[in-house]
């Protein structure tokens, strides 16, 4: 006999209520109360959809973590500390109780580790595909916008760029995958499935950044968005863009992958600008936070598209500067 699936009330009471914060009232009310605190209340929302942002057969715990972490990445880039989130879950006809339990277990682990508890949300049915939308809340003593970059500011990026875009290729079994070692394949796939929100840099951004945003649609395109918002341009040294050993291995196997590395989505790193006199403090605090931070260029005057230059001073134009949803 097939297992009886949870009713909506059972789903909420048994699966998600244990994750709820005190202000979520056990998810037994129609609204929640966020905790008071100093600074601006920062709000962001992102959805992830099966077949678009993750594979339908990906482990449900990892799907839950990715859904939360892409939102936490936005909070980090604004210099905000997380205080909670809302979850909207649209379940297709083939959902199971076991899938939900595993999903909630992954969500609970990250909610605890990132001090970002559940405050409420909604569950509904959909003909498909599975859709998960999270709205995350944070607080920041200084909201770090996209629009504060000024000519002369240095441009930095956290972590390594392009791993997730290559990891998607690994998940799809693209030909280059067969020329990678097992460790490289595992690293790239992990980076696609499980972003690392750079919340450890939130205080540093508040103290030093003139502008910042998370890199979700590709470094080339997202930096261009930041510069447009700031009314500035830039020169970026392509040779300085930080790459992991796995990404370098992939590019060595197929050099054309470099374009994907700098324009593909799902990095969830932070690109930021800061005055040159802040560079030493940025480097020191990033080291203390355990996050790599690399200077890749400088903001310039004007509103032209940023210049991406090779080591021998050739300017590279990318035909597709970022991932596009439409």
CATH number reported for the structural domain that contains residue 206 in this entry: 3.90.650.10
- Separation CA 222–CA 228 (nearest Å): 10
pLDDT at 28: 66
**pTM exceeds 0.85 for this model:** yes
Q: Is 34 a residue whose pLDDT tops 80?
A: no
Domain that holds residue 98: 8-27+38-140
Over residues 228-257, the mean pLDDT reads: 97
Domain stops at, among 140, 166, 184: 140
**What are the tens digits of pLDDT across the range 250-285?**
999 999 999 999 999 899 999 999 999 999 999 999
Give the lowest-confidence range in 6-15, 40-49, 273-282. 6-15
Q: Is 70 a residue whose pLDDT tops 50?
A: yes
Residues above pLDDT 90, as percent of the chain = 82
Q: Is 222 a residue whose pLDDT tops 90?
A: yes
Do residues 245 and 310 share a domain?
Answer: yes
Tokens 């799902």 — which residue? 266
pLDDT at 21: 75
Tokens 């991932």 — which residue? 323
**112 is a domain residue:** yes
- Separation CA 68–CA 72 (nearest Å): 6
pLDDT at 321: 60
**326 is a domain residue:** no
**321 is a domain residue:** no
C-alpha distance from residue 225 to each of 80, 103, 221, 259 (Å)? 20, 34, 6, 18
Q: Is 326 a residue whose pLDDT tops 80?
A: no
Confidence bin at 19 (pLDDT 50/70/90): confident
Do residues 280 and 217 share a domain?
Answer: yes
Instruction: Please give the tally of structural domains in the chain.
Output: 2
Do residues 88 and 192 share a domain?
Answer: no
Over residues 24-34, the mean pLDDT reads: 67
Do residues 103 and 166 share a domain?
Answer: no
Residues in Cβ contact with 295 at an 8 Å cutoff, skipping those fewer than 6 apart:
154, 155, 156, 240, 279
Do residues 71 and 202 share a domain?
Answer: no
Confidence bin at 36 (pLDDT 50/70/90): confident
Give the lowest-confidence range in 27-31, 44-48, 170-174. 27-31
Domain stops at, among 95, 118, 140: 140
Cα–Cα–Cα angle for 311, 312, 315, nearest 5°? 85
Confidence bin at 325 (pLDDT 50/70/90): very low
Tokens 């595993």 — which residue? 102
Cα–Cα–Cα angle for 263, 267, 271, nearest 5°? 80
Do residues 90 and 202 share a domain?
Answer: no
Do residues 163 and 133 share a domain?
Answer: no
In the sheet that holds 118-125, the strands lie side by side as: 40-49, 131-140, 81-91, 118-125
Do residues 103 and 196 share a domain?
Answer: no
**307 is a domain residue:** yes
Over residues 99-126, the mean pLDDT reads: 95
- Please provide the average confidence, as pLDDT, over all residues in the chain: 92
Residue 189: other Cβ atoms inside 10 A: 20
- Judge whether 157 and 215 are in contact, CB under 8 Å: yes
- Separation CA 273–CA 307 (nearest Å): 16
Do residues 200 and 308 share a domain?
Answer: yes
Domain stops at, among 140, 162, 183: 140
**What are the tens digits of pLDDT across the range 296-307?**
999 999 999 999
Q: Which of 153, 179, 149, 118 is nearest to 275 (CA)?
A: 153
**232 is a domain residue:** yes
**185 is a domain residue:** yes
pLDDT at 1: 60
Over residues 72-79, the mean pLDDT reads: 96
Over residues 183-203, the mean pLDDT reads: 97
- Count CA atoms closer than 13 A to 127's CA, side-chain side: 0
**242 is a domain residue:** yes
């Amino acid at each position: 006999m097939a297992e009886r699936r949870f009713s909506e009330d059972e789903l909420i009471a048994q699966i998600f209520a244990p994750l709820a914060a005190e202000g979520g009232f056990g998810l037994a009310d129609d609204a929640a109360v966020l905790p008071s605190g100093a600074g601006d209340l920062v709000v962001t929302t992102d959805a992830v959809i099966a077949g678009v942002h993750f594979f339908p057969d990906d482990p449900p715990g990892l799907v839950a973590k990715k859904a939360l972490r892409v939102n936490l990445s936005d909070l980090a880039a604004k210099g905000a500390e997380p205080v909670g989130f809302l979850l909207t879950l649209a379940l297709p006809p083939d959902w199971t109780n076991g899938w939900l339990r595993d999903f909630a277990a992954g969500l609970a682990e990250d909610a605890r580790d990132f001090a970002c508890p559940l405050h409420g949300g909604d569950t509904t049915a959909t003909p498909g595909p599975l859709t998960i939308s999270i709205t995350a809340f944070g607080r920041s003593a200084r909201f770090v916008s996209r629009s504060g970059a000024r000519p002369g500011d240095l441009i930095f990026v956290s972590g390594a760029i392009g791993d997730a875009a290559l990891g998607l290729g690994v998940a799809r079994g693209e030909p280059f995958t067969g020329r990678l070692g097992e460790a490289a394949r595992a690293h790239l796939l992990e980076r696609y499935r499980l972003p690392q929100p750079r919340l450890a840099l939130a205080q540093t951004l508040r103290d030093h950044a003139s502008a910042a945003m998370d890199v979700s649609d590709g470094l080339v395109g997202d930096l261009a968005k930041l510069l447009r918002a700031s009314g500035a341009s830039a020169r970026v040294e392509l040779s300085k863009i930080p790459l992991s050993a796995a990404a370098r291995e992939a590019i060595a196997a197929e050099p054309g992958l470099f374009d994907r590395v700098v324009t593909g989505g799902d990095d969830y790193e932070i690109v930021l600008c800061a005055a040159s006199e802040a560079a030493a403090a940025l480097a020191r605090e990033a080291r203390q936070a355990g996050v790599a931070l690399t200077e890749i260029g400088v903001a310039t005057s004007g509103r032209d598209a940023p210049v991406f230059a090779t080591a021998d001073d050739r300017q590279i134009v990318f035909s597709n500067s970022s991932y596009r949803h439409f």
